[in-house]
Structure 1
Amino acid sequence: MIDFSHLHDYLSPVSKAELNEDEEYDDLQVGNIIDTYEQGHIPNLDDADVIFLGAGDERGNGRSNPAISTPDVIRKEFYRLFLWHRDLRIADAGNLLPGRSQADAYAALKTVLTELIDAGKTIVILGGSHDLTYAQYQAYACKKYIIEVSVADALIDLNEGSPKKSQRFLLDMFMEQPNYIRHYNHIGFQSYFVQPRMLETLDKLRFDCYRLGKVRENIEEIEPVLRNTDLFSVDICMIKHTDAPSHSLSPNGFTGEEACALSRYAGMSNNLSTYGIYGYDPSKDRDNLTAKQISQMLWYFLDGRSVRHKEAQLNERESFLEFHIAGADISTVFLKSKKTGRWWMQLPDKNFVPCAYSDYLMASNNELPERWLRSQERL
């Protein structure tokens, strides 16, 4: 049972009246359905499948003002959307209080997330600067949970010489001992922004990095990556400027539709327990277009979560089609879900890992899928 009286010390309430300018929400709009922490109302977090949490601290970008109201700009757009998934119960825990220092902000986020993760909840964080991902990771590390981490970002934040924490927080995550990262995936990096030696280092660690162009060729190939992910972190600069004008990093990036697809894949994951969207700056937004983009990503996350409820367990073999491959270079078993069409393949240790239809086609032609090889290397 979640002790909200303990979390109360770290949180400030939200005002639905201010978000909707004193207008009533429609019965099927998110704002009417979501159980929100408001003045005088404590939400029932125990019954919630997905909990939203505002964490607007931006000191990691070098700003002195924590700007905790940033998540409310996203909420304003998100609450106006119509929720089609009445099987899902959603709640909003309000906004994290900023604290006096950046360390206070990290500690507060870690404390709240730890309690919610331990309660078996899925938490969506409306950030703040991207370095808050470190506190997101700390919520697992403090409990010694070994996890798989995925980050979608045009940059790889390993810039040791930067004074901004948001540009170097991955160093802390990777170098901290003891370390609880089983595997790391970086999705959508743009090569001209990345020092080549960074990629060499990550490859030596057997981490997987997916270039923007490669992902966009067939975005469905990323679904198995996110299916295995426990912690997902997105920097909004992964989206091209025209679709997310609050950043000016690059004219190139994922389209808004592709960002929604990634968000939906994250929602479909049985493993995922925290999803953070960071880097939104409302002062640079145009017509709230980026806030609208993020709100639609949140909607698609819930859409994916609804699919997740429908998926069978792997031991329920009657719910899967089974394909046996026996070749000179590879002998394995593939499973395809009758309910969702997703694929899994069996490794030599008899465990199944998420894969794509393309992996099955390669194995059928007696070619070793790269996903199979990388999984074997990590074993």
Structure 2
Amino acid sequence: MAFDFLVPVEDRVIAHCELLPAQAIGKNTHIHTVKDGLPVLANATIAIVGVKETRNAFEKKLEQLDVSEIRMQFYRLLLGNWNSTIVDLGDIEEGDTVEDTYFVVKEVVAGLLEEKVIPVILGATQDVSYPAYRAFDGIKDMINLVAIDSRFDFGIDDELISSHSYMSKIITDKPNNLFNFSNIGYQSYFNAQEEIDLMERLFFDAYRLGEVANDLALAEPVLRNAHMISLDARAVRASEMGLANSFSPNGFSGREICTIARYAGISDKVSLFGIFEMENNVQSQQLVAQIVWYFIEGINFRINESPYSKTDDFLRYTVPTEEEELVFHKSQLTQRWWIEVPSIFTSHTKANTPALLPCTEKDYLDACNQNIPERWFKAYKKGFN
């Protein structure tokens, strides 16, 4: 059993939790300890897992990620008005080979997905996204993956998998379960034009840092449609991460990245959230702890709604354009928008029911001005699921 490979949380973290007030997260989390063993997964909502593997880092790590310090920063935060049950399963240490570590990550994540528990991975390097993605094999047919990252991480042809090339492996590896890939926060000067062209050719979605920072609501429908989210901490500006090495002066602010994490939590499709490439300094550890807090906050505001299930709660708008008649739906409860993608039908909807693509009010207003939303066009071309 893969859970047997999980190493208990360090004693210093347990001692830290003993001193916390009753309202602190550390006092309300079921923790894997040497004394008590693994916590029971029944009724758990979120499971925290540390992954210390660094051997496929693009820039070699000078020190091991101190997941215990991130835990202590997280555990001292106070609970929100939540009904989530949090468990901490401890850490996956480096195996004899990188492949050994990947195998354990895949098996642990798959076990959690089968139990309907959301893994929150605190990983040293982002290549761990690959075995986490493979964990969906046999559980979910087609995956929408969102990376919050300054780079697309396609790497160079034939390059061995690394934290800068794991996406190439996800795209090309069999079985190919990737339906859509979206990037939020890329910075053009970190990405070759060939990579940008590849995103276009594959009808993947990409949103530049400036575009999202100017209007964070752009990220919400992208995240609403995601099953898995991989957050590279290097998408955050260096000053917010304690002027850490290998970070850029440009990037998301702490407030912006926490807002994005909350959107990720609110999405009722998201069943895996990973944060990678953190640094061992207090400011970085505090920010990562707060990102996890906002993700869990979002989970507690989830509303499972669909225009096809409760039609009374939705307004329907038909917008004729020169090319196509577009149909939008707006929730009167959450004010969220969807657009129908015609002629693309899915097995999990009623017969002959067009699929629904999350969108923004701006997409509706653009359509009213005869501008077809780009995400709709890409989904239409590709076959939206």
Question: TM-score higher than 0.5 here?
Answer: yes
Quick check: 1:46 aligned with 2:42? yes
Superposed displacement of residue 329, structure 1: 4.0
Partners of 1:145 and 1:280 in 2: how far apart? 31
Cα deviation for residue 209 of structure 1 reads 1.6
Q: 2:314 and 2:209 mapped to 1: Cα distance?
A: 32
Q: Does 1:365 align with 2:369?
A: yes
Task: Report what 2:305 is aligned to.
Answer: 312
In structure 2, distance between residues paired with 1:186 and 1:204 = 15
Judged with a 3 Å threshold, the aligned counterparts in structure 2 of structure 1 residues 173 and 66 are, in CA distance, closer, same or farther, namely farther
RMSD between superposed Cα atoms in Å: 2.1
Question: Which segment drifts farther, 172-181 or 350-359?
Answer: 172-181
TM-score (ref. length: structure 1): 0.91
Work out the CA distance in 2 between the residues paired with 1:202 and 1:366.
25
**By how many angstroms is 1:103 displaced?**
0.9
Q: 1:194 corresponds to which letter in structure 2?
A: N
User: What secondary structure sits across from 1:374 in the alignment?
Assistant: helix
Identify the match of residue 289 of structure 1 among 283, 289, 293: 283
Q: Secondary structure at the match of 2:357?
A: strand
Residues 115-264 of structure 1 mapped to structure 2, 5 A cutoff: 115-141=111-137, 143=139, 145-160=141-156, 165-245=162-242, 246-264=244-262
CA contact (8 A) 1:141 1:179 kept: no
How many angstroms apart in 2 are the aligned matches of 1:198 and 1:17? Answer: 44
Residue 3 of structure 2: which of 4, 8, 20 is its match? Answer: 8
Going from structure 1 to structure 2, the CA distance change for 1:256 and 1:20 (only over 3 Å counts) comes to farther
* Map of 1:265 onto structure 2: 263
> Aligned partners of 1:240 and 1:140: how far apart in 2?
31
> Aligned pair in 2 of structure 1 residues 347, 93: CA closer, same or farther (>3 Å)?
same
Q: CA deviation at 1:20?
A: 5.3
Q: 2:51 and 2:369 mapped to 1: Cα distance?
A: 49
CA drift at 1:373: 1.3
- State the Cα deviation string for residues 85-124 of structure 1 (Å, max 9, x = none): 3311111111113211111111110010111112222111
Give the match's secondary structure for 2:261.
Answer: helix
Q: Is the 8 A contact 1:323 1:335 kept in 2?
A: yes
Q: Do the aligned residues in 2 keep the contact of 1:146 with 1:181 (CA within 8 Å)? A: yes
Call closer, same or farther: CA 1:279–1:225 in 2, change over 3 Å.
same
Post-superposition shift, 1:156?
Answer: 2.3
- Number of corresponding residues: 368
Gaps of 5+ in 2: 344-353
Asked whether the 8 Å contact 1:155–1:190 carries over to 2, the reply is yes
Alpha-carbon contact 1:59-1:65 (below 8 Å) kept:
no
Select between 6-15 and 18-27 the one with higher mean Cα deviation: 18-27
The counterpart of 2:30, out of the listed 29, 35, 40, is 35
Q: Residue deviations 1:110-160, cap 9 Å, x none?
A: 010111112222111011111111111111236563101111111222222
CA contact (8 A) 2:2 2:104 kept: no
SS state at 2:207 partner? strand
SS in 1 for 2:26: helix
CA shift in 2, pair 1:322/1:28, >3 Å = farther
Q: Compute the TM-score of the two structures, normalised by the length of structure 2.
A: 0.89
Residue 363 of structure 1: CA displacement? 2.0
Distance change in 2, residues 1:21/1:33 (3 Å): closer
Aligned to 2:327: 333
Provide closer, same or farther for how the CA distance between residues 20 and 256 of structure 1 changes in structure 2, counting only shifts above 3 A: farther
Task: Name the structure 1 match of 2:346.
Answer: none
Conserved? CA contact 2:279–2:285, under 8 Å: no
Cross-structure match for 2:295:
301
SS of residue matched to 2:342: coil
* Aligned counterparts of 1:211 and 1:25: Cα–Cα separation in 2: 41
Q: Secondary structure at the match of 1:292?
A: helix
Q: Render the CA deviation track for 1:53-107: whole Å, top value 9, x for unaligned.
A: 111211122658883x622121110001111133111111111132111111111
1:24 Cα deviation (Å)?
2.2
* Whole-angstrom CA distance in 2 between matches of 1:250 and 1:202: 23
Q: Counterpart of 1:296 in structure 2: which amino acid?
A: Q
Structure 1 gap segments, 5+ residues each: 1-5
Q: State the AA in 2 paired with 1:346.
A: E
Post-superposition offset of 1:15: 3.9
Distance (Å, rounded) in 2 between the aligned partners of 1:164 and 1:319 = 46
Q: Is the 2:155–2:164 contact (alpha carbons within 8 Å) kept by the matching residues of 1? A: yes
3-state SS of 1:354 partner: strand
Structure 2 residue 90 is matched with structure 1 residue 94: yes
CA contact (8 A) 1:319 1:339 kept: yes
Give SS of 1:44's match: coil
Distance 1:251 1:296 in 2: 21
State the shift of 1:323 in Å. Answer: 2.6
Q: Residue 40 of structure 1: CA displacement?
A: 2.6
Aligned-residue offset at 1:163: 6.7
**Inter-partner Cα distance in structure 1 for 2:273 and 2:17:** 30
CA distance in 2, matches of 1:59, 1:19: 29
1:24 to 1, 4, 19: 19
- Answer whether contact 2:231 2:276 (CA < 8 A) is retained: yes
